[in-house]
Structure formats: C-alpha cells, structure tokens
Structure 1
Amino acid sequence: MKRIIKKIFSNSRSPEDGIFFDAIHKILGFQPLDLSNYRKAFTHRSLNKVDEKGNPINYERLEFLGDAMLGSVIAAHLFNEVPTGDEGYLTKMRSKIVSRDHLNELGKDLNLIKHVESKVATQHFGENIHGNLFEALIGAIYLDRGFAYCEKFIHKKVILPYVDIAKLEGKVISYKSLVIEWCQKEKKSFHYDVYEDSGNEGVKYFGVKLKIDNKIVAKARATSKKKAEEKASQRAYFVFQEKMKSND
C-alpha cells in the first residue's frame, strides 16, 4: 500500500515535491498525504505569502495548533502514568516536558530548520525557531492525518526517548521561579536590578544584580534581560540550595 501511495504521488508531483515528500516521510516515519500543510509548517512570515483570500501563509497558526496537540498528549500520558499526582504536580511536569528549551532541542535533533523557506538567513534566527517549527510540524500532522497519527508521532519523538518521570521530578526549568517562590514562602524581599552593560562590545548586553533582603546575592550578564535574570537566579539558587531543599 505504501509503495502504491508513493507511486501515485511520484507520478502526480514535481521532482521538488518528491524530494520534500521523502524528507518529510523520513522525519515522520509514516506517509504524508497532503504536502501543503507541511509546506506551510516550514514557511516563514518573512516571505509574506498569502492565499487567494489574503490570509497569511506561514507556520505561526500551525505552531499554535501543534502546541495544543502536544500539551494534550503529554497531559494524557502523565495522567495515566502518575495516578497519584495532583493538578499542581501534573502541571509542573507537563511544563518541564514542553519547556521552550526542550522543544528547541527536539527541533534541532530533527534538523527542521534545514527545510525552512525564508528571506531571513538561518544564522539570524533566534534559538526558538527550532521549537516553533517542531510545534508547527505537529500541527501539520494533525491536519493531515488526524489525532491518532499526531499522538503516535509525539510518543515516538518525545515521550519514549525523553520522558523519564523520576528524572523530570528533579529537573529545574526556571531558577527565577524557584527563587521567587522561595522568597515569598520565607517572606523575604527580592529585587532584580537590570541595566545595560554593553561596554565596548558590539553586541548589546544586560547586567543583573539580584538582591534578597536588600543584599546583593548574585550578579549575571547576558544578551537579554530574561537570560540575565535566569542566570543570576541560578547562581542565587546554588547559594541558598540547602535552605531551599530543607524547606520543601
């Protein structure tokens, strides 16, 4: 049956589509039926493509859909695997699995950026492009083959190789959230003092001083405010690690 589908496809599509079909087939592990969804999943907004109704053609709406599909499959898996987990526990575990860093890793592992059509050079994309493409691909699978195939793909590419409940329980996805939660619990004041710290470098940097109870406990520097705050929080966590664990 697979050979028949591929033969029909090969006879009715251009050589370019045939190459794309083979690439997508290799990534998915099953036959794509409608390539248009997958084309859209790798179309960047910089191309300014629109359909006959003037609607934009790019991966952003598919990214939204894929995010929902991924979240639902992971939620169902955790619900079944951890019958003792309450809502808060399950929510935290799902967040660890679908964290932006993890999605970016998944997108990189599949080398999805290789298939992007864009006017922007790939070296100028931000790190999140990898995770965005992974979510868009899941959205395309849902539209093309339905929920069952979408679930099958997520189990194969995410759950089986990466979801280890015991390891995830000890994984920190946001040191800033951890530090803030601890400060609030212990009734300690905290403040992130953010300032530009570029110096003579061409790249713009931000510096952060994290104060707890009006005392500077950590400093950090990075190319964005968010990264600098997270790095400072991580350093603060290691300073107060034993106290934080004793209060869990």
Structure 2
Amino acid sequence: MLDGYTMDVLEQRIGYCFHNKALLKQALTHSSYTNEQKINKTENYERIEFLGDAVLELVSSDFLFREHPDVPEGELTKMRASMVCEPSLAFCARDLELGQFMLLGKGEENTGGRRRDSITSDGMEAMIGAIYLDGGMQPAKAFIDRFILSDLEDKRLFYDSKSNLQELIQGKLKKEFEYRLLEESGPEHDKTFVVEIDMEGECLGRGQGRTKKAAEQQAAYEALLLLRDRGYVFKKY
C-alpha cells in the first residue's frame, strides 16, 4: 500500500518533497494496477514516463556534450544509449529500492514484477517526469545527476561487463574462460540463478539474478573488479 508514510520515506530517499503527491503516486502506478482496480488508464505511469524519458535524454546529452568536448557525435550517441538503457536504469533503481514502492496488480506482483528490469527502469523515467512536472527542470536534473550520472566509472564497468571481460581475458590475457551455472532455484515464474566465472581453474566472480543473463552480468562485473584490483585497465570513454 502506498500511504503517506511510505511516500515520505521515498521522498527522503530521493531528496525531493512533492508539492503534488498525486504525481508521485502516479509515477509509481503500473498499468497492471490500474487495470485490476478499474482505474482510468491515464492514471498509471506511462504518460509521465514518456515525459521523463525526454528529460533524461536532454540532461544526459548535455552532460556528455560538456564532459567530452572532443568525442564525435556517433560515439556520444553510443555512450548515452549505454547510460540510459533498460539494464542501466534498473541498476540505478535497485540503489533506491524503487520496486518496493510501486503499485502493481496481483498478477504482476506474484510473478516478481518488483524486481523486473522493464518495470523498475520505467519507474525511474516516470519519477524523473513526475519531479519535472512538480518542480521543473532544476530538481529533475538534480535527481538525474545524483542517481543516474553519478559513479559512472563503476556503472559503465557494470553496463559493459560481459564484453569488457571477454576483451580483457581473451584479448589481453590470452586465456579461456566460461560461465558456469551453479544453482537454479525457485518457481518457474520467479527463478533465481547463480553463476560463476571460471578462468582456467580460477573462480573470478560469482553472480546472482532472476535470469541467467543477469547472473552472468553480475559475475562479470565482480570479475572485472577483481582484475582491476590486480592492476588491469579497461577501456574508458
């Protein structure tokens, strides 16, 4: 239930207090909830998400344009795409534990919707849109700067973890590695996978996720952190 106390907790977490609480509630309302409750479908987050996506694109584009004055347009476009794609925004949403605040229908709730990347990433864009509508560009930009454009070095390492790891191990270390599925548990609609990375007998990292791909990405990220501690340098934008 999204009551006044719960909204207060979220506002403290994001560092912004809404003048219009209805906007915050709408930003957290999934279409499965409005369908189930027979509420007007315009009261879910989809329209606000549409606006938030545009605000995020503008702010992230301005950030990259100013931070990388010598990078050509094509590369800037690739950089922006990796920063605001679904897995990236879901990664940021997990830091806020945004999924736990969202209003979902029972079916979506029972199939693990609170942890689904497609829902939590949409929630991040809807939150941006709601803040923009409530307070304008300045607080929306502050939210993006704090929760999406911060700690970019580690986030980029996570976003590109599998490709970076393959390039490093096979290209620089000249070694072979593989992802090994260690565990698969839970009901069909809400499974948990545990994966480790083996490099010629050495475990470099272990990851857990709702899909094998997510578990592999987490394992690759852990492996990259380990290799970075050993002095290896990865490509940077």
- TM tier relative to shorter chain: 0.5 to 0.7
2:127 pairs with 1:137: yes
* CA RMSD in angstroms, aligned pairs only: 4.7
**Higher relative contact order (CA closer than 8 Å, sequence separation 6+):** 2
* Contact 1:220-1:231 at 8 Å conserved across structures: yes
2:55 pairs with 1:69: yes
Matches within 5 A, 1:1-248: 28=16, 31-32=19-20, 35=22, 38-47=24-33, 48=35, 49=38, 51=40, 57-87=43-73, 88=75, 91-92=78-79, 95-96=82-83, 99-100=88-89, 101-105=91-95, 107-108=96-97, 113-114=100-101, 116-120=102-106, 125-126=114-115, 128=117, 131-141=121-131, 144=133, 149=136, 151-159=137-145, 163=149, 168-169=152-153, 172-174=157-159, 175-183=161-169, 185-186=171-172, 192-193=178-179, 195=181, 197-198=183-184, 204-208=191-195, 210=197, 215-218=200-203, 220=206, 222-223=208-209, 224-237=211-224, 240-241=227-228, 242=230, 244-245=232-233
| Structure 1 residue ranges without an equivalent (≥5) | 1-18
Scaled by the length of structure 2, the TM-score of the pair is 0.59
State the Cα deviation string for residues 165-222 of structure 1 (Å, max 9, x = none): xx534652232232123356449586644547247x888443435466xx45436352
Count of residues paired in the alignment? 211
Q: Secondary structure at the match of 1:43?
A: coil
State the Cα deviation string for residues 57-88 of structure 1 (Å, max 9, x = none): 52245334423321221211231244234453
Give, in whole Å, the separation in 1 of the partners of 2:46 and 2:121: 12
Q: Residues 58 and 157 of structure 1: is their aligned pair in 2 closer, same or farther, counting only changes over 3 Å?
A: same
Q: Residues 204 and 63 of structure 1: is their aligned pair in 2 closer, same or farther, counting only changes over 3 Å?
A: same
| Structure 2 residue ranges without an equivalent (≥5) | none
Give 1:136's aligned amino acid: A
Give, in whole Å, the separation in 2 of the partners of 1:247 and 1:67: 28
Range moving further from structure 2, 22-31 or 215-224:
22-31
Q: Residues 204 and 62 of structure 1: is their aligned pair in 2 closer, same or farther, counting only changes over 3 Å?
A: same
